[in-house]
Amino acid sequence: MNPEKVLFGFFIVLALTLNFGFFVGELDNPDHHHVYELFAVVVVNLVATVLKFGDRTQMGAVLLATSLVALLQLFAAALVWTVAVHVTESGLTTVTMASIVSLSGGAMLANVVSVVLLIIETVMLRR
């Protein structure tokens, strides 16, 4: 058992599950999407991305790319949230909530790709 693989797999899957947890619920209902969950998703995704640094394989490069995409989407979602609440002071309207959740949905897609890639790699390297 390779502890590096365990840690790596853990964070990749955790990023996906947390992301899913934030995403489920009515798209435009602020009560269904908690800010703590978004925070956790961002942090876990950051960790998962950093864990891929320095991996010189082709698979590692693609995984890094998908993680970067997920991060980009999540940052956008967090930014929309912050701007809506603190800058424009319009509060969490259904419109902004919908865009935040759909952005995180995009991030989830990237995380799904990451997990699929991880599974493919594991299956290919059956050891």
Partner 1 sequence: MNNIIFLIFRRMRAPLLTLILAYSVAMLGLVLIPGRDGDGNVYYMDFLHAFYFVSYMSSTIGFGELPHPFTAAQRLWVSLSIFFTVVVWLYSIGTVLALLKDETFQRALTERRFARKISKLRESFYLVAGYGQTGEALVKALTDRTQHAVVIDILQERVNLLQLENLREYVPGLCADARLPEHLLEAGLKHPLCEGVVALTNSNETNLKIAITAKLLHPDIEVICRADSHDIEKNMASFGTDYIIDPFDAFALYLATAIQAPCLSLMQDWLSLGFNDLLSDPIHPPKKGLWVICGYGRFGKAVYDKLVKEDLEVVVIEAEPSQTGTPQTQLVVGRGTEADTLMEASIERAVGLVAGTDNDANNLSIIMTARELNPDLFVILRQNRKYNDPVIQAVGADMVMLPSDIIANRIRVLLGVPMQHQFVRLAMHQDDEWACQLISRISALVTEHAPDVWEVAFTEQDTHAVCQYVREGRNLTLGELSTDPRDRTSPLACIPLMLLRHNDFSLLPGPDLVVQKDDRLLFCGRVSAKHRMEWTLQNENALNYILTGETRPQGWIWRRLQKREVT
Largest Cα span, the chain: 55
**At residue 78, what is the residue type?**
A
27 secondary structure, DSSP code? T
C-alpha 42/C-alpha 75 separation (Å) is 8
Mark residues 88-127: x for contact with partner 1 by CB under 8 A, - for none: ----------------------------------------
Written as six digits, the tokens of 5 are 């693989």
Which residue in 6, 24, 50, 119 binds partner 1 (CB under 8 A)? 50
Judged by CB under 8 A, the stretch of 12-20, 36-44, 94-102, 115-123 that binds partner 1 is 36-44
Q: Is the dihedral of CA 93, 99, 102, 106 positive or negative?
A: negative
Q: How many residues bind partner 1 (CB under 8 A)?
A: 15
Report d(CA 14, CA 53) in Å as an integer: 18
Binding segment for partner 1 among 14-22, 53-61, 98-106, 113-121 (CB under 8 A)? 53-61
31 binds partner 1 (CB under 8 A): no
Is residue 63 within 8 A of residue 54, CB to CB? The reply is no
Nearer to partner 1, 51 or 108 (CB): 51
Unique residue bearing structure tokens 């493919």: 120
| Nearest distance, CB of residue 51 and partner 1, angstroms | 7
Residues that bind partner 1 (CB under 8 A): 35-36, 39, 43, 46-47, 50-51, 53-54, 56, 78, 82, 85-86
